[in-house]
Amino acid sequence: MTGYRTPARLFHWIVALLVLATIPAGQIMIQDGLSRSVQNALFIFHKNVGVVILLVVLARLAYRQVVPPPPLPLSVPEWQRRVAGLTHAALYGLLIFMAVTGYLRVRAGGFPIEALDALGLPTFVPRSEALEAWAKAAHWWGRIALVAVIALHVAAAAWHGLVRRDGVMARIWPPVAR
């Protein structure tokens, strides 16, 4: 059975690693009692890696248009194919939503995004307290949805890989196709 090709696998694992680091960084950096230097480092990491995630996700979606995912094994029933498709669409959508609301929240608040500023890119968003407050709330709620969908996705992957052993995990792991 064939799996995803190497570029799709690398996209998947790069995004997975970055997202699984960005979520706890975001969560920790807003806690009280952190030293200023740790908090600053986490903010810089979180904001700039968030932008990288957006770029990699967009590149991955473009690649997916050119090289569509391989068909699932015939043993996977129709309803599970539908749930998998919806889950993957939700993951892509939520990652874009998180990156865009994060960007809006920071820019509307007048804060830096160090890598973009170093490249001399302009801010596309006016200063606005209302937009900042909206984007902050959207980012907060979005992460709850994202964490829930990731949990479902990882549970399904573990079930395929450890219980069913039906080859679904081998479609994306290892990161380089054999």
Determine contact, residues 93/134, Cβ cutoff 8 Å.
no
Q: DSSP secondary-structure letter at 169?
A: G
Which residue is it, tokens 């968003």?
125
Q: Does 64 bind ligand HEM (CB under 6 A)?
A: yes
Of the candidates 20, 38, 83, 151, which one interacts with ligand HEM according to CB under 6 A? Answer: 20
List of residues 6+ apart from 58 with CB closer than 8 A: 96
Q: Does 1 bind ligand HEM (CB under 6 A)?
A: no
Binding mask 103-142 for ligand HEM (x = CB under 6 A): x-xx------x----------------------x--xx--
Look up residue 47 and give its two tokens: 């904001």
Look up residue 133 and give its two tokens: 């407050």
How many residues bind to ligand HEM according to rule CB under 6 A? 43
List of residues 6+ apart from 160 with CB closer than 8 A: 166, 168, 169
Which residues of this protein are in contact with ligand HEM, per CB under 6 A?
A: 12, 15-16, 19-20, 22-23, 26-27, 30, 46-47, 50-51, 53, 64, 69, 72, 84, 88, 91-92, 95, 98-99, 102-103, 105-106, 113, 136, 139-140, 143, 146, 150, 153-154, 157, 168-169, 171-172
